[in-house]
Structure 1
C-alpha cells in the first residue's frame, strides 16, 4: 500500500518511520504547502515524491491511502478529496471541528468504499496500553474515578499561528491537548459521557482558550476530571485511574505503576522508542482496517471526543453543567 503523507508537521517523521517499518507499506509521497518542509520529511524516504497540493498528489496516481496530518479544519475537505480519489484515509485527531463535519467525512468514505480511521495515538502508547490491559483483566475491580492532569504551552509564538485561529483550529488547548485527555479518560473509564461541566481561560491575549478544566460523569457512573494548564512552572502529564481494588498511575516520563494494598509495581518503564512504536502500531491498525478489520478506535468514539470538546465550550460559555442527551444541539 502506497502511503501519501499530507502535512509535514511535528509528527510527520513518526509517520514516515512507521511506513518504512511495516511490511506491505511504503511512503510514496509527502505533500505540504511548504515545499521545504515536505522535502525535509521526504528525505527520510528517498523514493517518496514531493507535492505542494494534495489534489495534484491524488490525481497523480502515486498513492493508495493518505495520512491527513494538517490543521484541524482542513481534515474534512482533504479527507473528502482523498475518498473521491479512491484513497483510504487515516486522519489525525480531532476527526473534525464540528459533528456535522465528522458525519460528512464518514459518509464520504462510506460512499467511496474506502477505509477511514482516526489517529487517536493514546490507544497505542505502550504505557497506556499496559494500563488498559490491567483494567481489562479485572484484577483491580471496577473503575470509579479518572483524574487527568496535563500541561501544555499556548503562549503566542510557541506554536504555529493556525493553532490560535478559532476557524482553523476549532478551539485552543481543549480541542488540541484536551482531546487527548478526553480520549484516554473515556477509554480507561469504559463509558460515554452523560454530563459535562467545564471552565475555559484565555490568557496571553490569545484568541483561543489557553487553559481549561472539565468534569464529566460517564454513563456507567465513573467520574472524570480533566485539567489542562498552559505554561506552568512544573510540566506534567499524569493520568490516575482509581479502581475499587487499587490505583493505576500513568506518566509517560516514567511509566505505568499499579498501587494496591500499600505496594507499588511498575508494569511499564518508559523507553525512548515508545512514541515511535505507538505510531507504528497505529499505522498497522490502519492497514488491518483497509484489509477489512475493525479499528482499534471506533469512529463513534472519535466523534464523541469532538462532541465533548464542543460541549465543554458550550458549558463554559453558559456557566452550567450540560447534559449530553441531544448531541445534535452541539453541531
Structure 2
C-alpha cells in the first residue's frame, strides 16, 4: 500500500512579492492543509505589505528564510535569472519547489534545476498556471474527446504592454529577464500550443522586433511545427489595443476559439456557440488548483502539476525563436518529452 500522507499543515514560503507572488499568496487563503508561512523579497516595503496582509513573517534574504521559517516548500516568483540558483538552493535545503514560468533563461539551467531536485528527492513543479484554468481545461478536454476530429492548425495571438515604465525595470534587462516578450509572454502561447496539440515544438521560424533604446524585443512572430506534425503560429505585439489573448484550434469539423477575455467558443457551420464564458474568478481558481495539486504531489499524493521536463520544453521553444531570428532561418528544437 502507498504510504500515508503526512499530517500537519504544509508550510510554503514565497520568493518574490510582486504581482505573481501576490497571486499565489491570495490563492492560498483559506486552503485546507497548507499555508503561506513566509514571504521574501529584496524590496522590503513590497514584501512587508504582502506579508502584513497574510499575517506572516517577512525576509529580505531567501537563505535566511530557508534556515529559519520551518518550511516544506517554496514558490519562486523572482526575476527569471534567479529561478535556477534559488531552485538549487531550495532543493539543497530539502524544500519542494513550485517555480514560475519561464522555468529559467537557458535550457542548461532548466536541466540543472531538474537534477538538483532529483538528487535531493524534492518535487520540482513549474507554474504554467494556464493548465489549471477552467476555460483551457474545458478546451483541452473537448479536443481530447475527438468530438470534432483531430487538430490541424493552431494560432495564438496576444498583446502585452512592453513600454518602459509598464513593468518593473528588470524586465528590460536582458541578463536578468533572459529576453523580452517571447520568453516572458510568449511562453504562455507556446505552452497553450503544446497543450492543445498534445506534443512538443520541433521546429521554429521566428522574427523579433524591439523599440529604440531597449535591450529586449517587444514584438515577435513565429511559425511552429510540432513533433506530431501539427503546425501553429504565434503573434506577440506590444502595440495592440484593446488587449487580446486568444488561441484558435482548427479541427477536422470545427474550430475552437479560446479567449482569455471572453471564454471558449466552438465555430461550426457559420455559427459561433459559447461553451464556457470567461469569469473574473477563473484566474484565482487556477492559481488555487495549481497550489492544491503541487501540495498534494509534494506530500506523496496524486496531485496534478507541470513537471520540469515540460517546463524545459517551453523554454527551449522560446529560445529557438530567438535563435531563428538571429540566424534568419528555421531552427530545430532539442527533443523534450510531452507533459503528463
TM-score bracket for the superposition, by shorter chain length = over 0.9
Cα displacement (A) at 1:323: 2.2
Q: Which runs of 4+ in 1 moved over 6 A?
A: none
Equivalent-residue separation in structure 1 for 2:118 and 2:150 (angstroms)? 37
TM-score with structure 2 setting the length: 0.93
3-state DSSP of counterpart to 1:300:
helix
TM-score with structure 1 setting the length: 0.95
Deviations 1:200-227 (Å, cap 9, x if unpaired)?
0011421100101111111211111000
Cα displacement (A) at 1:272: 1.2
Instruction: Flag structure 1 segments of 5+ consecutive residues without an equivalent.
Output: none
Deviations 1:134-184 (Å, cap 9, x if unpaired)?
111110110001100000111111111110111110100000000111001
Residue 8 (1) aligns with residue 40 (2): no
Seen in structure 2, the aligned counterparts of structure 1 residues 49 and 143 have a Cα distance that, compared at 3 Å, is same
Tell me the number of residue pairs that the alignment of Structure 1 and Structure 2 aligns: 326
CA contact 2:295–2:303 (8 Å) conserved in 1: no
Equivalent-residue separation in structure 2 for 1:303 and 1:50 (angstroms)? 31
Seen in structure 2, the aligned counterparts of structure 1 residues 325 and 283 have a Cα distance that, compared at 3 Å, is closer
Cα displacement (A) at 1:59: 0.6
CA contact 2:221–2:235 (8 Å) conserved in 1: yes
- 1:291 aligned residue (299, 313, 318): 299
Residue 319 (1) aligns with residue 328 (2): yes
1:63 corresponding residue in structure 2: 71
1:259 corresponding residue in structure 2: 267
Cα displacement (A) at 1:34: 1.1
Residue 231 (1) aligns with residue 239 (2): yes
Residue 163 (1) aligns with residue 134 (2): no
Counterpart mapping for 1:1-331 below 5 A: 1-46=10-55, 48-292=56-300, 293=302, 295-324=304-333
3-state DSSP of counterpart to 2:86:
helix
Equivalent-residue separation in structure 2 for 1:233 and 1:259 (angstroms)? 24
Seen in structure 2, the aligned counterparts of structure 1 residues 65 and 245 have a Cα distance that, compared at 3 Å, is same
